[in-house]
C-alpha cells in the first residue's frame, strides 16, 4: 500500500513547499514568517499583487526589498536611555570582555536538508546523557565525537582548540562565553549548523572593559533586542490574522526571516 504524501504547508493558501517535500520544521517556520511579511507588503501596496509566490522558500528580489521597506516603516526602535545601558552592562559585563577564550571540543549533529530534526535532537540528547554519565567521561566524549560528529573535528575527538567569541556562530557564542562552566555542558547548544554536545576544557576570562569603552556596543545590543521583540510581536499579529496550514509558529524561539 502506498503511503500518502504529507499535506503541503501554506500561508493563506500560498504553498511553502512542493508536494511530497518535507523541509525541516525550523526551515518551514522561516518560510512561513517570510511569506507572512511578503503578503503584508502586498496588502499595504509596497509590492505588486502579481509578485510570484516563493519557490522552495526563495522569494523575488522585489519581495525582499519590499519586506525591508515594510519592516522599516512598521518597526520603530527607541534609543535606550543611558541608565538602561548602564544597567545592561552591569548585568552582562562578561559579554563585553576583551580577550575571553575557551578551550573547546564538541560533537555536532548537523541539520541537513530532509533530516528528521526531532529524531536528530533525540540522538543528540542521548549522546549528551551518555557522555555526561560515563565513568570515563573524557574518553567517552572523544570516542563519541569520532563516531557520531558531523564536523571535520571528529577525527581529533571533537577538539576545536582555543576559540574567541568571533570564532563561533553568534548563537553558539552566547551559550558558551560569559559563563563559568567547565566540563560537558548540561544542555545541548543550538546553532545554525545543528545541535552541539559541548565540553569546555578550560577558560581564559580575559579583561573586563568599563562601560565608557563599550557604550556603543551596549546601545546596539539593546536596540537589536528591541527590534527582535517588535518583529516577534508583528509576526504574532500577522499569524493571528492568517490561515496557516501545516506549520506551527508557536514553537519558534525567535522570528526567523530570510
DSSP string, 145-201: HHHH--SGGGGGTTEEEEE-GGGS-HHHHHHHTT----EE-SSPEEETTEEEEEEEE
The pLDDT of residue 152 is above 50: yes
Give residue 98's pLDDT: 86
Give residue 56's pLDDT: 81
The three grid cell numbers given for residue 162, joined into one nine-digit string: 582555543
Question: Is the pTM of the predicted complex or chain greater than 0.95?
Answer: no
Topology classification of domain 99-204: Chitinase A; domain 3 (3.10.50)
Q: What percent of the chain is modeled with pLDDT above 70?
A: 93
The pLDDT of residue 173 is above 80: yes
Give residue 255's pLDDT: 46
Cβ pair 118, 22 in contact under 8 A? no
pLDDT digits (tens, 9 = 90+) for 42-101: 999 999 999 999 988 889 999 999 999 999 998 988 899 999 999 999 998 877 888 889
Give residue 55's pLDDT: 86
CA atoms of 24 and 84, how far apart (whole Å) = 39
CA atoms of 60 and 62, how far apart (whole Å) = 5
Give residue 4's pLDDT: 55
- For 175-179, what is the mean pLDDT? 88
Contacts 24+ apart (CB under 8 A), 177-181: 177/94, 177/95, 177/100, 177/102, 178/92, 178/94, 178/95, 178/97, 178/100, 179/94
- With cut-offs at 50, 70 and 90, classify the pLDDT of residue 239: very high
The average confidence (pLDDT) of the chain is 88
- With cut-offs at 50, 70 and 90, classify the pLDDT of residue 3: low
Residue tagged 559579554 (cell numbers): 95
The pLDDT of residue 179 is above 70: yes
Domain regions of the chain by residue span? 10-78+219-251, 99-204
Task: Specify the higher pLDDT residue, 81 or 258.
Answer: 81
Beta bridge partners, 124, equal none
Where does the chain show beta strands of DSSP type E?
Answer: 10-11, 14-15, 101-110, 159-163, 183-184, 189-191, 194-204, 244-245
Give the chain's largest Cα–Cα span: 69
Amino acid at each position: 500500500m502506498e503511503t500518502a504524501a504529507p499535506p503541503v504547508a501554506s500561508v493563506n493558501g500560498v504553498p511553502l513547499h512542493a508536494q511530497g517535500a518535507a523541509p525541516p520544521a525550523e526551515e518551514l517556520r522561516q518560510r512561513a514568517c517570510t511569506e507572512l511579511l511578503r503578503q503584508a507588503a502586498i496588502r499595504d501596496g509596497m509590492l505588486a499583487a502579481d509578485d510570484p509566490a516563493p519557490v522552495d522558500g526563495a522569494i523575488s528580489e522585489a519581495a525582499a526589498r519590499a519586506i525591508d521597506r515594510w519592516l522599516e516603516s512598521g518597526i520603530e526602535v527607541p534609543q535606550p536611555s543611558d541608565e538602561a545601558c548602564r544597567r545592561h552592562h552591569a548585568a552582562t559585563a562578561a559579554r563585553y570582555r576583551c580577550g575571553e577564550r575557551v578551550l573547546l571540543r564538541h560533537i555536532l549533529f548537523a541539520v541537513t536538508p530532509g533530516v528528521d530534526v526531532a529524531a536528530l535532537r533525540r540522538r543528540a540528547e542521548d549522546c549528551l546523557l551518555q557522555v555526561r554519565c560515563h565513568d570515563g567521561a573524557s574518553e567517552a566524549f572523544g570516542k563519541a565525537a569520532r563516531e557520531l560528529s558531523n564536523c571535520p573535528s571528529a577525527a581529533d575527538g571533537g577538539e576545536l582548540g582555543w576559540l574567541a567569541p568571533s570564532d563561533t556562530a553568534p548563537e553558539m557564542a552566547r551559550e558558551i562565553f560569559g559563563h563559568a562552566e567547565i566540563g560537558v555542558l548540561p544542555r545541548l547548544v543550538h546553532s545554525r549548523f545543528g545541535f552541539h554536545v559541548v565540553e569546555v576544557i578550560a577558560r581564559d576570562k580575559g579583561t573586563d572593559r568599563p562601560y565608557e569603552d563599550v557604550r556603543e556596543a551596549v546601545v546596539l545590543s539593546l536596540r537589536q533586542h528591541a527590534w527582535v521583540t517588535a518583529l516577534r510581536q508583528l509576526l504574532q499579529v500577522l499569524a493571528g490574522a492568517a490561515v496557516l496550514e501545516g506549520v506551527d509558529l508557536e514553537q519558534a524561539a525567535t522570528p526567523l526571516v530570510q
